[in-house]
Amino acid sequence: MDAILLQILNGLDKGGAYALIALGLTLIFGTLGVVNFAHGALFMLGAFCAVSLNKMMTASVKVKDESVTFFEAFKEVPYLELWLGETGTTLISWSVPLSILLAIPVMLFIGLAMERGLIRHFYRRPHADQILVTFGLAIVLQEIVKASFGANPHPQAVPEMFSGTANVGALFGLGDNIVYPIWRLVYFFFSMSIIGMVFAFLQFTTFGMVVRAGMADRETVQLLGINITKRFSIVFGLAAVVSGLAGLMYTPILPPDYHIGMDFLVLSFVVVVVGGMGSLPGAVLAGFLLGILQSFASMNEVKSVLPGIDQIIIYLIAMVVLLVRPRGLLGRKGVMED
Amino acid sequence: MTKKTSDVSRRSFVKGSAAATAAGIAAPSIFVPHATAAGAFRNDPGSSKTVTLGFNVPQSGPYADEGADELRAFRLAVKHLNGEGDGGMMQTMQPMNLKGNGILGKKVEYVTGDTQTKSDAARASAKRMIEKDGVIMFSGGSSSGVAIAVQSLAQEMGTVFMAGLTHSNDTTGKDRRRYGFRHFFNAHMSGAALAPVLEAEYGRDRQVYHLTADYTWGWSQEQSITEATAGSGWQTVNAVKTPVGAGDFSQYITPILNSGADVLVLNHYGKDMVNSLTQAIQFGLRDKQVNGKDFQIVVPLFSRLMAQGAGENIKGILGSTAWNWKLQDEGSKAFVKAFGQEYGFPPSQAAHTCYVQTLLYADACERAGTFNPEQVIRALEDHTFDGMGNGETLYRGEDHQCFKDVLVVRGNQNPSSQFDLLEVQDVVPRAKVEYSADLYPGELGPYKV
Amino acid sequence: MNTVATKKKDNLMVLIFAAVVLSMPVWLQPFGAAYPDLMQKFVIFGLFAVGFNILFGQTGYLSFGHAAFIGVGSYATVWVFKLYTMNIVPAILFGVLVSGVFALVIGFICLRRTGIYFSILTLALAQMSYNLAYSVLTPITNGETGLQLSLDDPRAWDAAQVQGEGIPATNFFGMEMSAWDGLFGFYVCAAVLILGFYISVRITRSSFGSMLRGIKTNQQRMTYTGLNTRPYALSAFVISGMYAGLAGSLMAAVDPLAGAERMQWTASGEVVLMTILGGVGTLIGPVLGAAVIKYFENIFSAINTSVLADFYSFLPDGLIDIFVGVSALFVGKGWHLTLGLMFMLVVIFLPGGIMEGIDRIKNRFAKKPQQD
Amino acid sequence: MSLLEISGVNKTFGGLKALDDVNLSVREGTVHAIIGPNGAGKSTLLNAIIGKLIPDNGTVTFNGEDIVGHKPHEINQAGISRVFQTPEIFGELSIMENMMIPLLAHRDGAFKMNPWKRSDDEADLIDKAHHFLDDVNLWGKKDTIAGSLSRGDKRRLELAMCLSQDPKLLLLDEPTAGMARADTNNTIDLLKQIASRGITMAIIEHDMHVVFSLAERISVLAQGHVIVEGTPEEIKVDPKVREAYLGGAEV
């Protein structure tokens, strides 16, 4: 029982990440009708916002390393520690949450630049062309990051107060066996609140209303004389921020490297298809569902019956859903069917 | 189909057809026929003033940083062979036949290639080196799958391959090849070296949970550790296979919490190890007490680049490694000094093994007095040397595996610099990690191809 | 643009194509690509792309899982080498057959959907095959290491042959693939490519080819014209799967090894890139695209700083470092960056790929005399 | 005898009754027009005939056989061809190839694996294509890419494609919509000529000039129901028709 509860927690946590990525992807697809293969790269860029801020905060003086005697070696002492002592160290440990402040403008800018500079010219081109040009862009972005940060993962620490584990079981009176890392809980609540904000934004603002109307029927809204295109480029920026934040907050869980976006790319498409192309609630639902099912498929009890099931569960679900209910869980019929 | 009755006739058929080509099609001059005359061999530098080596390392993909370090070591080795710089380990190598004038008086040049850590790409790159660039030997690598794939190519093409980083027992076990040589240690040695240290540190009769990367290297690592620690009364509670590149391992880690295990062995490498270790520690495994003992995590194969990726989480974790730059023997010091002066930071174990392999090959050529791979291979087989950082070392003839001291290391609690991530816990002498060549049976294949 | 293809023109095209392919060892020399392995890669991936084009370029189905058939073809071929004979002919035939059957099953499932749903279905199935081949199916595939020949393989049909030392080489009725310094293997592959190209020309010009293009252009109209599109699309899928299987078999024939990574989705992505880069739906484009990408992968990736320094040695000292530094970003370990950039430029400015570029240049030259 | 017999056909979308107990019969060798205000269910009816959608109940009998539930391609192979309101042609292919596909479908059936014979060797089919393209004045442009044609040419091409299949019943969905008067008259002439060959036609049309020039029988559809059926003269004077049109949104 405890094992199952823990796996549900795992699934919720993983699902939070999947849902956030799929949410951004669906926003872009639903509004602009663009299949964005560079979406994983946005996740990766978000993660590297955290890495960059950490690097900036640990900008260091080189102090001669006396422990190395055979050659001139230096060790690095961050200025912040040099100037502020303990406070500096604490400040550095907060670099991941702090980088949210950096990531929002940066990702917004990247999103807008991407839409204005490239994606815009592909609205009328076939989906295959969109896939290909964004795929090319993803390769380029990832190679640039690799050239600047190397291929190795960059571990990110979490602030003292969020490190360690929480006794979740005790909170709900379920015994002491259900402990869970605090940061993962933070991630889950973070993803829930981002999802909530995006939905609230679309539901309760005029801007959001127009966007939703545009998602449902682009031509009609344009006939009303509303400049959809301009709003849609902002939506692209918004989607970039959402995926960027998803990546950024994930860095303490998964030390990011240049390839982290590609690792999530296929998966995020599967999530979107399972949820239904263009359906925001579908993307969220599918994200959590796939996260939980993936966790269950990895349990020893399941694997002993179906060896290797954890390797293919995601694809298996995608296949079954596509064959049985091609529009996805909550999708509209006929989206991109031809 | 045509059935050949003897090998001789088949060979002569091939020769005949080669002659036919020469007559019929104007074969471009770069396709100099090989292996036709007795004593001739592929890419014989002949009277050329230079000789070319190939360095085939991952330049893209997850192990690109490791590949970059290997490449630095190769460049350094070439420099030293050509008599530039301070000579590095050439000052300490025993026996030492290199003269600092290249190999056999020919200046050493090199070509590079990208394996992408994929067998196909690695073989394509190696073939380019052999067929186009005319290399006499090639080296490098960062995964066992690639090493094994490239090694069998070496055998087919008759070009010596000096493996870089490859840790699987298979490389010099069931997939050993006459033309492939491994200086690096393997999973069996990791187990043999770790077992006594683990018993001393963590006691007897522990309950072990394995998380194992679901492919050949992971399985052989798990098996080696299980066998080596069985003598200490360590029992396997469960051994779970995880998909390669799983990213988030949480669903594999949570079942450990209440499994009754008190030791977790992570049979992962590279990114998988970075992720699984980071996450295992997040789940508070190291703060747990199970069966009245402190919960422990063991990572049988460590590398410095992995340690960098895992950051804080590596502190205090035990594992094994082939070599570390803080070793105080003369050979290691000479190498670290030369490398550090050249690049400003100390070398990794991957760099070490690549550097040593290049020097060993060159030395074998000098001893054989020829580049003919047949003689060079014989010169390397059962060769004993010293002064290369791991004590007296034997290149065993039966399986082309080097036997040398193995290091047990621990993640440094108080690193003095960003390179000071691992501290040497124990240098396990060669005698303790040696095993019979029949333990992992395989066929080397012929000298002449 | 609308020049009508005639039998004569097509035959001429195939002849020129054959001449160009067969003379590769000569004209590729100045490019540093005239060595057997790379030329084999050119023709094998060219063949793969030709087959892929039948599905993607003609029928309009974008498969992201075609590399799976390469893998299946390779595995089947290596198993024939291991169990029966080192002769490539039965091995390749078996490889093509098995990949055809595999394609039939996969195609039957995936073709129930169209558009991006089809793409994702193929992607999912191919990734499943890859993951299973990498780990669970290791007894069949030898997992990460890849399926290799070994000395103690049975090779039942070759038993009469007295074995020499070492593993025997793959051969074409006794003629080793590595003969003529590897050139024989190249010519075998080249012959298969030319045959495969000819077949694809015939398919394109046939009424079957018209049906495929009809499906790509307007599937509705096909249905209301009394045509059952499913079997046509499935045939195209199986044919292109068999081409891929053939390519995989040839890979194993010249280099008897089969690894799971051949089946990864990025490998499927690569053939999409090849086809687009060369020109979707054109006959020759995919072959060109395959050659360009393989050239980058093998030649560009091998350019290191010392090569660059040699190249720029005519410059003054200070400039050399700058030029080498900048160029190094794009070659050697940076070759992926160059590929990505080039790819984006092609998709943005030349949606018809290299073939469109050639057409544009041709038109520019052709127009001038007319205007005079 | 009647070639097409529709009886008791119903179709609802959500709560909306698109077809309400439709009964209609098209006699062999006649031109039968189906008229009615917008949203009366005319196109839905055609869709139900060609198998694009399946009626909730009722039967559609063609040539004595119930075709409800048959696949669209089977229905076409049985002898029903349809010209769509917006031309459905193969936009990326040449006019010649556009013609070859229906000709091949007519000769070889729904599926035939024929990957080796060059389609430019199919001399008899090319002759037929020539003949039908001449009818619509497109033979001269036979190598043009169909997508680049004018709207009128696209319609004529689609008509030629359908005719080349030698259909027993030709369904036309507003064949003159958006055409200039001169073009419309040409089309009327063409359709008359086709009718004179004995091809049965069912035609949806808003333009009453076209309807009364061609139709021998007319069915009036309103709110998914056939309210009247008769000869043009009967329809002209029927009060129910006037009411349906005036009560409807527009004429």
Best of C31, C40, C178, C301 to disrupt the B interface (most B CBs within 10 Å) is: C301
- Classify residue B57 by its DSSP letter: E
Q: How far apart are CA D63 and CA D3, in angstroms?
A: 5
Question: Which run of H or E residues covers position C83?
Answer: helix C67-83
- pLDDT, position B267: 93
Do residue B113 and residue B179 come from a single domain? yes
Considering the domain boundaries, does residue B40 fall inside one? no
Do residue B78 and residue B89 come from a single domain? yes
Q: Searching chain D, which residue's CA lies closest to the CA of residue C239? A: D115
How many other β-carbons are positioned within 10 Å of the β-carbon of residue A147? 15
Q: Does C274 have pLDDT greater than 50?
A: yes
Q: What is the pLDDT of residues A41-70, one digit of tens each?
A: 999 999 999 999 988 888 777 776 666 666
B160 in helix, strand or coil?
strand
User: Does any CB of chain C come closer than 8 Å to the CB of residue D247?
Assistant: no
**What pairs with residue D12 in β-bridges?**
D17
Q: Of the segments A325-329, B38-42, D73-77, which one has the largest average pLDDT value?
A: D73-77
Q: Does C32 have pLDDT greater than 90?
A: no
* Cβ within 8 Å of C, D 116-135: 116-122
Edge-to-edge strands, sheet with B393-395 = B383-385, B393-395, B402-403
pTM of the model: 0.88
- pLDDT, position B31: 42
Q: Do C219 and A136 touch (CB under 8 A)?
A: no
* Short-list B148, A175, A281, CA closest to C144: B148
Tokens of C59: 């029928």
- pLDDT, position C19: 95
Tokens of D121: 């060797």
Do residue B170 and residue B267 come from a single domain? no
* Cβ within 8 Å of B, C 90-109: 90
Q: Does B33 have pLDDT greater than 80?
A: no
CA atoms within 13 A on the CB side of B295: 20
Q: Does B14 have pLDDT greater than 70?
A: no
Do residue B303 and residue B339 come from a single domain? no
- pLDDT, position B38: 56
Q: Do C206 and D114 touch (CB under 8 A)?
A: yes
Nearest Cβ partner of B17 from C148, C175, C335? C175
Q: How far apart are CA C131 and CA C137, in angstroms?
A: 9
CATH code: domain of residue B395: 3.40.50.2300
Nearest Cβ partner of C340 from A129, A136, A270? A136
Do residue B192 and residue B315 come from a single domain? yes
Unique residue bearing structure tokens 């801007």: A207
Question: Which run of H or E residues covers position D218?
Answer: strand D217-222
Considering the domain boundaries, does residue B363 fall inside one? yes
Q: Does B7 have pLDDT greater than 60?
A: no
Measured at the alpha carbon of residue C104, what is the angle toward residues C98 and C109, in degrees to the nearest 5? 135
Q: Do C32 and B31 touch (CB under 8 A)?
A: no
Which long-range contacts link A217-220 to residues 24+ away (Cβ below 8 Å)?
A218/A33
Q: Do B215 and C134 touch (CB under 8 A)?
A: yes
Q: What is the pLDDT of residues B56-67, one digit of tens each?
A: 998 887 788 888
Do residue B329 and residue B380 come from a single domain? yes
Tokens of B275: 């992720």
Q: Do B257 and A179 touch (CB under 8 A)?
A: yes
Residues of C in contact with D48 (CB under 8 A): none
Distances (CA, A) of A191 to A22, B66, B251, D200: 12, 35, 19, 64
Residues of B in contact with A252 (CB under 8 A): 282
Domain spans of chain C, in order of start: 7-280, 299-372
Distances (CA, A) of A35 to A26, A131, B65, B166: 9, 6, 32, 40
Q: Searching chain B, which residue's CA lies closest to the CA of residue A304? A: B240
Do residue B167 and residue B201 come from a single domain? no
Tokens of D240: 């129910």
Considering the domain boundaries, does residue B342 fall inside one? yes
Rounded to the nearest 5 percent, the helix, strand and coil shares of chain D are 40, 25, 35
Nearest Cβ partner of B149 from C146, C161, C304? C146
User: Does any CB of chain A come closer than 8 Å to the CB of residue C21?
Assistant: no
User: Does any CB of chain A come closer than 8 Å to the CB of residue C140?
Assistant: no
The tally of domains found in chain B comes to 2
Do residue B135 and residue B222 come from a single domain? no
Which long-range contacts link A188-197 to residues 24+ away (Cβ below 8 Å)?
A188/A12, A188/A13, A188/A16, A190/A16, A190/A245, A190/A249, A191/A16, A191/A17, A191/A19, A191/A20, A191/A246, A191/A249, A192/A16, A194/A20, A194/A242, A194/A245, A194/A246, A195/A19, A195/A20, A195/A23, A195/A284
Do residue B227 and residue B345 come from a single domain? no
Unique residue bearing structure tokens 């333990």: B439
- pLDDT, position B299: 93
* Short-list A243, A292, A296, A270, CA closest to A14: A292
Confidence of residue C238 (pLDDT cuts 50, 70, 90): very high
DSSP string covering A35-85, please? --TTHHHHHHHHHHHHHHHHHHHT-EEEEE-TT--SS--EEEEEHHHHHHT
User: Does any CB of chain A come closer than 8 Å to the CB of residue C265?
Assistant: yes
Residues of B in contact with C164 (CB under 8 A): 7, 10-11, 446
* Short-list B115, B163, B128, CA closest to B361: B163
Chains D and A touch (3+ CB pairs under 8 A): no
- Bridge-based pairing of strands D31-35 and D200-204 is parallel
Domain spans of chain D, in order of start: 1-79+167-251, 90-166
Q: Do C117 and A322 touch (CB under 8 A)?
A: yes
Q: Do C6 and D120 touch (CB under 8 A)?
A: yes
Q: Do D76 and C224 touch (CB under 8 A)?
A: yes
Tokens of A152: 């190795």
Nearest Cβ partner of C211 from D52, D101, D117? D101
C198/A265: higher pLDDT: C198
C367/B312: higher pLDDT: B312
Q: What is the pLDDT of residues B162-217, one digit of tens each?
A: 999 999 999 999 889 999 999 999 999 999 999 999 999 999 899 999 999 888 78
Do residue B239 and residue B308 come from a single domain? yes
Q: Searching chain D, which residue's CA lies closest to the CA of residue C209? A: D115
Best of B14, B21, B171, B443 to disrupt the C interface (most C CBs within 10 Å) is: B14
Domain of B393?
Answer: 50-185+325-404
Domain boundary among B292, B321, B350: B321
User: Does the bond joining C351 to the residue before it have cis omega, within 30 degrees of 0?
Assistant: no
User: Does any CB of chain C come closer than 8 Å to the CB of residue D152?
Assistant: no
Query: Is the predicted ipTM greater than 0.90, yes or no?
Result: no
Do residue B383 and residue B286 come from a single domain? no
Residues of A in contact with C124 (CB under 8 A): 270, 314-316, 318-319, 322
Q: Do B284 and A164 touch (CB under 8 A)?
A: yes
CATH number of the domain located at residue range(s) D1-79+167-251 in this protein: 3.40.50.300
Residues of A in contact with B328 (CB under 8 A): none
Q: Which amino acid is at A206?
A: T
Cβ–Cβ under 8 Å, residues D88 and D41: no
Tokens of B187: 């999973």
User: Does any CB of chain B come closer than 8 Å to the CB of residue A7?
Assistant: yes
Q: How far apart are CA B331 and CA B334, in angstroms?
A: 5
Judged on CB neighbours under 10 Å (0-12, 13-18, 19+), A64 is exposed
Residue spans of alpha helices (H) in B295-448: 304-310, 330-343, 349-368, 373-380, 430-433
CA distance B299 to chain C (A): 21
Q: What is the pLDDT of residues C63-98, one digit of tens each?
A: 989 999 999 999 999 999 999 998 999 999 999 999
Q: Searching chain A, which residue's CA lies closest to the CA of residue B214? A: A308
Q: How far apart are CA B137 and CA B159, in angstroms?
A: 6
Do residue B302 and residue B343 come from a single domain? no
CA atoms within 13 A on the CB side of C12: 5
CA distance B341 to chain A (A): 6
Tokens of C145: 């290491």
Cβ–Cβ under 8 Å, residues D111 and C223: no
Confidence of residue C196 (pLDDT cuts 50, 70, 90): very high
In percent, the amount of chain D with pLDDT more than 90 equals 44
Torsion of CA B375, B380, B383, B389, to 10 degrees: 150
Q: How far apart are CA A195 and CA A243, in angstroms?
A: 11
- pLDDT, position C211: 94
Q: How far apart are CA C144 and CA A76, in angstroms?
A: 40
